[in-house]
Chain A
Amino acid sequence: MYDVELNHITKTYENGAVQAVKDVSFGVKKGELFGLIGPDGAGKTSIFRMLTTLLIPDSGTASVNGFDVVEDFREIRKRVGYMPGKFSLYQDLTVEENLEFFATVFNTSIEENYDLIKDIYVQIEPFKKRRAGKLSGGMKQKLALSCALIHRPTVLFLDEPTTGVDAVSRKEFWEMLRRLKEQGITILVSTPYMDEAALCERIALIQNGSILSINTPQEIINSYPKPLYAIKAHKMSALLHALRDSNLVDSAFSFGEWHHITLQDSVTAEQLKVSLQAEFPTVQMEAIEPGIEDCFIQQSLAQHEVEL
């Protein structure tokens, strides 16, 4: 039984001119840490807003905890925690007052659920008399998470929680999510960062409002259709052009220090290396394990071809 379930959800804006979410279906199991991975504008926030009853879908059905998002929105609002992408707590109230406010709103108290937020809250407790607007980005995020958790929600929705947060805080944040998961809370998290996908139990890759695939990160990586190579030389930009022009190469993308490429069927790595040797004498090439980002690019290209 799924804790969060979407069936053929569609959402358009501006009277149908903009299709934000196209026929999306997926389910999140109880106690699962599920990631919605996709670039900005993929429709992640629209999906979150529909699941948290802030937006009504055009068609399709969705349920949270078994309650329909349209019919039983009141029940859902009692049970879920939502942390929007934009910091939306009261900047002119203190840390403590914000937390107290959200506890009271849900008819509970900080003491009652302190055990759940303890790990997170102790880090900001020294600043509890400070106004929320005066906190640093990482502390704001911790406060927002504490406020979203204070009523012990069964499902936690985190919309791009790590956007605009430094690398150390991001790592800490995922650590916190793992601990929350152990408490049996279902967590649905969205992120544009592909490297965070591996930290989820299952992920859905989303692009232009459509789901590309849903699986565990490892399965998604395993399903990468071809051997993947990383290649580099002195003149990286010229190399990329040469690779794209070469009829031995199937795809070539720049990944920072390396280019990631796949080869045409029945072409070997050695053949390509030989063909490049003249122009790029320093060329290095090695077979690598694909990452989520490789999979994402490959799948969105494949879908693009289907659509064409």
Chain B
Amino acid sequence: MKTLSFLLQKEFKQIFRNPTLLRLIIAVPIIQLMILPLAADYEIKNINLAVVDVDKSRYSEELIQKITASGYFVNIGTTTSFDEAFSWIEEDKADLILEIPENFERNLIRENKERLFMAINAINGVKANMGGAYLGQIIQSYNAEVRMEWIPDTKVPPMPTISISSLNWFNPSLNYDFFMVPGILVFLVTMVGTYMTALNIVKEKEVGTIEQINVTPIKKLHFTLAKLIPFLVIGIFVFTLGLFIVARLVYGIVPAGNIGMIYAYLFLYLISVLGVGLLLSNYSQTQQQAMSLAFFFVMIFLLMGGLFTSIDAMPLWAKWIAYLNPVSYFIDFMRLVVMKGSTFADVKHHFMVICGFAVFFNTWAVISYKKTS
């Protein structure tokens, strides 16, 4: 115990003497939490719309007005020639063309139907899909208004329609930050557990101090624990800073679930990612190697972890990678507990899996450590 406490003192001394590392520990969580949610916002706004209005009637005017009033579209110009509108798409000024044909108003009233034409630039698939869907909805609701105008007689029974009204649970205002911030917290903790740990251990190898340590009676277990515990503490610190300072003060996120349970899970998660860090350090001799290895794995862990994209939407083989990825469980856990307020019974599976990961990575790290020394 005495040796361990002494080794820990030495580790903390070294960490606090490294101004770059210290700045990273404090600045990174704050900056990343401020910036990343903006980049990962999938709500599509400001779609550039070009209108080809050949009809130039009251109805077509009203329709265009209604579309721009929705806030999703920016009308970049109205013309009478489709070719001109198309050239705007080619110049990347417009994302979408809506063509209102000649006699739109007349046909709609006389013949009770008329067609509109929509051309969408589909290079950005998400934007194209969403843009098309928004525009369709707006036109439909306009259609309903027109119908109301022409069938005012209540004696005639109205046509049967199904109306859908939805209620958004757990994130009523559909605020994307609420979804992203808990995930980014996981990302930060993962960085600390893998990169920082691996680099710190490999540094001793690279500088040669591990030689000097190995000739002393210090046990490997003590040495390793003294390397891991500081990053466990830093991981918890970074998480706390993110959750209670940035998430609460900047985004107004207050976890709906039990804070104690979140920390219990964080602890188990850190144990498993520290195992990954230890593992990486066993397989590298220099900090450069460790950095490259860590970058490779953390990249996969994060992109396959459901932070930016939904795991449910992945192909089956990719889903399996996500299931073997500790990051995806913590991100899921965080969203469930922070937003939905899930209880232990709901996330029991998450707890079991992360315990499994902790045992798996650390066992592997211990075995490989013996082999390479």
Contacts and interface: CB of A to CB of B under 8 A. Distances in A.
B217 A88 contact: no
A52 B214 CA distance: 9
Given A86-B208, A88-B207, A89-B209, A77 B13 contact: no
Contacts of A107: 217
Interface in B1-29: 3, 6, 10, 13-14, 17-18
Interface in A76-92: 77-78, 80, 82, 84, 86-92
A262 to B, nearest CB: 42
B208 A97 contact: no
A93 B10 contact: yes
Report the interface size class on chain B: 10 to 19
Main SS at interface, chain A? loop
Contacts of B6: 101, 104-105
B13 A78 contact: no
A193 interface: no
Contact of A93 (B14, B213, B215): B14
Contact of A89 (B13, B212, B217): B212
B214 A54 contact: yes
A97 B211 contact: no
B218 interface: yes
A88 B211 contact: yes
B216 interface: yes
A102 B213 CA distance: 9
A97 B13 contact: yes
Contacts, number: 57
A65 B3 CA distance: 25
Interface in A144-172: 147
A54 B14 contact: no
Given A88-B208, A92-B18, A105-B3, A54 B215 contact: yes
A101 B226 CA distance: 14
A90 B209 contact: yes
A118 B209 CA distance: 24
B216 A53 contact: no
A108 to B, nearest CB: 11
Contact of A88 (B10, B13, B209, B218): B209
A107 B209 CA distance: 19
Interface in B148-172: none
A51 to B, nearest CB: 10
A87 B208 CA distance: 8
Given A92-B18, A97-B10, 10 more contacts: A53-B215, A54-B211, A74-B217, A82-B215, A88-B212, A89-B209, A90-B10, A92-B14, A107-B217, A147-B212
Interface of A: 52-54, 74, 77-78, 80, 82, 84, 86-93, 97, 101-102, 104-107, 147
